[in-house]
Structure 1
Amino acid sequence: MHLEIVTAEKVVLSEEVDQINAPTRDGRIGVLPRHEPLMTILKPGEMTIIKNGERIPFAVSGGFMEILSNRVVILADTVERADEIDEARAERARALAEERLKNAQTDRDIAMAEVKLRKEVVRLQVAQMKNIRRQ
């Protein structure tokens, strides 16, 4: 099936894949060719693509996924392949988000810090999967 992953800045991926596993608001979803049409909200988490038996991990920070039989379009806030994530930078960002959460005073500040912390934890988890290339 054809997969397109798009962010506000660029087309991240546009190619044929065998399977997509993505974190949605209602739980993880696996998408195979000829999947039932669906529009869903993505939540921050690990998204994997399987192509020719190779498992390719991505960190997604949220967005939308539209499934139309043999075509999937993902409109994401941000998407990073595991091999694009700088672990040291992500660790610093995680520590900063934890500090902001600890010092947050308003509900809005707490919510923003929690979202940022979740994004950085996901980035670190996905970055640690760089060498895992199996189904």
Structure 2
Amino acid sequence: MAKLQLAVVTAEGESFSGEVDTVVAPGGLGEFTVLPSHARMISTLAPGVLRFDQGGDSVSLAMSGGFLEVSDNRVTVLADAAEQDDAIDLERAEAALARAQERIASTESEVDLERAMASMRRARVRVNLGRRRRERGLS
């Protein structure tokens, strides 16, 4: 069966590079799946979970947004940040979520509110993914 070549790149460098079976991404207009021989496309990515299957294992990355390109069985993700579920410090993620919620409650300007809301969305993705991993008994 055909495979996809996935590369996840952040400002810090390459988070992941390898051959995968499928990719499920948090698109700007909703979640979508990329399979081998997928048509060329470019999409924005919303904060959410990027999942991919690799040799029978499912891997999840907390994404804070970015872009995804599909071309010739290559999937390239340019992300603001990407963190594998087993690297998430749940206590730190929960503290970031609490700080963002406090900022939302005390914000007076529209710009500050938008930034606080974006911080909350990113933190919520990390918290949810970290909790899911803990519930499965993997950390």
TM-score category, normalised to shorter length = over 0.9
Between Structure 1 and Structure 2, how many residues are aligned? 133
TM-score under structure 2 length normalisation: 0.92
Aligned counterparts, 1:1-135, within 5 A: 1-130=4-133
**Shift of residue 69, structure 1, vs aligned partner:** 2.8
SS at match of 1:91: helix
Q: Percent identity?
A: 38
For normalisation by structure 1, the TM-score amounts to 0.94
Moved over 3 A (4+): none
Q: Please give the alpha-carbon distance, in whole angstroms, between the structure 2 residues aligned to 1:22 and 1:127.
A: 18
CA 1:18–1:45: 2 relative to 1, 3 Å: same
Identify unmatched segments of 5+ residues in structure 1: none
Unpaired stretches in structure 2, ≥5 consecutive residues:
none
Note the C-alpha offset of 1:130: 2.4
Counterpart AA for 1:8: A
CA RMSD in angstroms comes to 1.3
Distance 2:16 2:135 in 1: 20
Residues 62 and 3 of structure 1: is their aligned pair in 2 closer, same or farther, counting only changes over 3 Å? same
Structure 1 residue 47: Cα displacement = 1.1
